[in-house]
Amino acid sequence: MYFLSCVDDVVKEHAKHVYNDATFRESLAKYGLAHVVGAISPELIRKTLFDVNKRLYTMDLKEFGYNDPGVGKYSFNTDLPFYHETFDHSLLPHLFHLLLGPMERPYKSDVAQVTIRFPGMFCGNDDHTKRWHLDGVGPQSNDNITAVKPRIQNFDALVVILLSDSHGKYSGELGVYPQSHLRLSKWLTPERLHQWQYTGLEALPNGPLSDEVVGTKPFHLLGKAGDIFITNYMIGHFPICNESPHLRYNLYYRVNGPTSSSRHSLKERPQHMYEPIKHWKL
């Protein structure tokens, strides 16, 4: 079924209203992220959360489609049609039509990533704020990640959909470094980019270099169920400790515009990393 038939004019007008807000566009250009309140309907959130919790209850986690060993426990990549609806039947296809330009076909979701953060996760002594990463870079080989050839798989935007309300900071939310897309593009040299291509995550300037390269003050992605955050794909991000007594649920999508790699394409375009907002209509 052609998904646009399921989206009425109200959703299209909502997307236009969001895009026409100069503060929204300025935030994406300057900080590499923007928050849209109530972007996903309560019904879509309810259906998605119901399915995730049902699978937790039955421990039917492998039925999500496939589990990427590099994602980690209680994070799952899924290509099930049900999880495409949360993106495809929302304002997001229309908003990216404005943000990244028109496509030959309407914007549709790629593989979805579901993350579940239990109380106590990421709450050890390790400083995860210095273990930020970029999606589409790597991975490197170690005991926990299947050995693969590192590569840079470019895309344009990472969409974060909150499936549950935030309960204050340190409740399992995602942390990001504002402006890291610009900082990293300035830090890059041909030699450093070459290292990224051939050693993956190991070449990222995290750990002791984090303060110098991406800054010292991460931003916590907090909000209500149905809120979304749109981030530039070059924004450094990391999971934050869940000190709350509540489960934390997020849904992630990668979005490709007409000048980025096509859906499911493995073509590398590392030169895009020098100009992370060049193809955005901001």
What pLDDT, in 10s, does the model give residues 225-275? 999 999 999 999 998 999 999 999 999 999 988 876 554 444 566 777 888
The continuous run of DSSP H or E covering 85 comes out as helix 81-88
Question: Which CATH class name applies to 21-274?
Answer: mainly beta
Q: What is the pLDDT of residues 10-66, one digit of tens each?
A: 889 999 999 999 999 999 999 999 999 999 999 999 999 998 888 777 765 555 544
Q: Give the pLDDT confidence of 83-100 residue by residue, as tens digits.
A: 888 999 899 999 999 999
Residues 6+ apart with CB under 8 A from 117: 74, 172, 239, 242, 247, 248, 249, 250
Q: What is the pLDDT of residues 167-185, one digit of tens each?
A: 899 999 999 999 999 999 9
**What average pLDDT does the structure give for the chain?**
82
Tokens at residue 168, please? Answer: 């204050």
- Domain range summary for the chain, segments of one domain joined by +: 21-274
Alpha carbons 269 and 91: distance in angstroms, whole number: 28
Task: Tell the residue number behind the tokens 């979805």, with chain if given.
Answer: 112
CB 139 within 8 A of CB 200: yes
Please list the residues that pair with 157 across neighbouring strands. Answer: 232, 255
Are the CB atoms for 103 and 140 separated by under 8 Å? no
Contact 77, 64 (CB under 8 A): yes
